């Protein structure tokens, strides 16, 4: 469920209400949530596809004794893509691994400040990871790098999903930071 401007819960996933720029942040957060939901649906299809490819690989080995050379790597590419592309969705729901014991002990205002500091550090890491992933993507694209397997698919494919997924995660965290800061300035 996406909070509206009228409900404006005090959780980090909520949007700031009645603040200058609150409507813009709410619209951006709704757009990001919609994009994340679309990506999750596509990732679910990709996970099923990876499972079917691996099942075909096992069945063909058992039934026909044929060796596969592309199925394992194709499945890995699909799984890497699904993992990185859905990271923003998980962050939007605060679903990443966290230690909740501390949050139960802290007063709400201190906990909100702690979450903000964690988000800022997470954003810095994810933005750096996005930049480095883009450097790998650019290098793989320009040099025409391929994997070392006999199938030899281009490496720009997994690097592109890493870059895009981490970029989306960075945007999601930046939105959460902006919403948290806007809530702090709310009258």
In this predicted structure, the answer to whether residue 153 has a pLDDT above a threshold of 90 is yes
With residues binned 3-state (H G I as helix, E B as strand, rest as coil), the percentages for the chain, rounded to 5, are 70, 0, 25
Q: Choose among 149, 136, 133, 163: nearest CA to 73.
A: 149
Question: Tokens in use for 158?
Answer: 């997994």
pLDDT in tens, 140-150: 999 999 999 88
pLDDT in tens, 79-113: 999 999 999 999 999 887 777 778 888 898 998 99
Q: Choose among 183, 167, 9, 175: nearest CA to 92.
A: 175
- Exposed e or buried b per residue across 152-171, where buried means at least 16 C-beta atoms within 10 angstroms of its C-beta: eeebbbbbbbbbbbbbbbbb
Question: Residue 143: which residues within 8 A CB-CB, separation 6 or more?
Answer: none
Q: Are 165 and 184 in contact (CB under 8 A)?
A: no
- Percentage of the chain modeled with pLDDT above 90: 67
Q: pLDDT tier at 1 (50, 70, 90 boundaries)?
A: very low
Q: For residue 150, what are the CA distances in angstroms to 62, 71, 146?
A: 21, 12, 10
pLDDT in tens, 105-126: 889 899 899 999 999 999 999 9
pTM, two decimal places? 0.83
Question: Residue 56: which residues within 8 A CB-CB, separation 6 or more?
Answer: 71
pLDDT in tens, 42-69: 999 999 999 999 999 999 988 888 877 8
Residues 19 and 63: their CA atoms lie apart, in Å, by 65
Is residue 72 within a helix (H) or strand (E), and if so which, with residue range?
helix 71-85
> For residue 120, how many C-alpha atoms fall within 13 Å in the half-sphere facing its CB?
9
How many helices (DSSP H) and strands (DSSP E) are in the chain? 6, 0
Q: Which residue has the tokens 């992933």?
A: 133
> Average pLDDT in the 4-14 region?
40
Q: Which residue has the tokens 């993992």?
A: 83
Question: Tokens in use for 178?
Answer: 């902006």
Give the DSSP letter of residue 154: B
Provide the pLDDT for residue 67: 79
Provide the pLDDT for residue 146: 97
Provide the pLDDT for residue 13: 45
| DSSP β-bridge partners for residue 146 | 154
Q: pLDDT tier at 174 (50, 70, 90 boundaries)?
A: very high
């Amino acid at each position: 469920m996406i909070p509206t401007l009228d409900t404006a819960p005090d959780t980090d996933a909520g949007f700031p209400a009645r603040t200058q720029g609150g409507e813009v942040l709410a619209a951006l957060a709704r757009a990001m949530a919609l994009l994340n939901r679309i990506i999750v649906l596509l990732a679910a299809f990709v996970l099923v596809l990876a499972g079917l490819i691996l099942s075909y690989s096992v069945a063909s080995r058992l039934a026909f004794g044929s060796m596969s050379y592309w199925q394992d790597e194709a499945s890995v590419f699909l799984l890497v893509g699904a993992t990185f592309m859905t990271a923003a969705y998980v962050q939007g729901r605060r679903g990443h691994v966290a230690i909740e014991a501390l949050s139960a002990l802290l007063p709400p205002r201190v906990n909100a400040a702690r979450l903000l500091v964690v988000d800022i550090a997470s954003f810095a890491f994810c933005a750096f990871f996005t930049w480095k992933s883009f450097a790998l993507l650019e290098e793989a694209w320009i040099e025409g790098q391929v994997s070392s397997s006999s199938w030899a698919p281009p490496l720009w494919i997994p690097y592109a999903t890493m870059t895009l997924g981490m970029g989306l995660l960075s945007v999601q965290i930046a939105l959460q930071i902006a919403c948290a800061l806007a809530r702090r300035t709310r009258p």
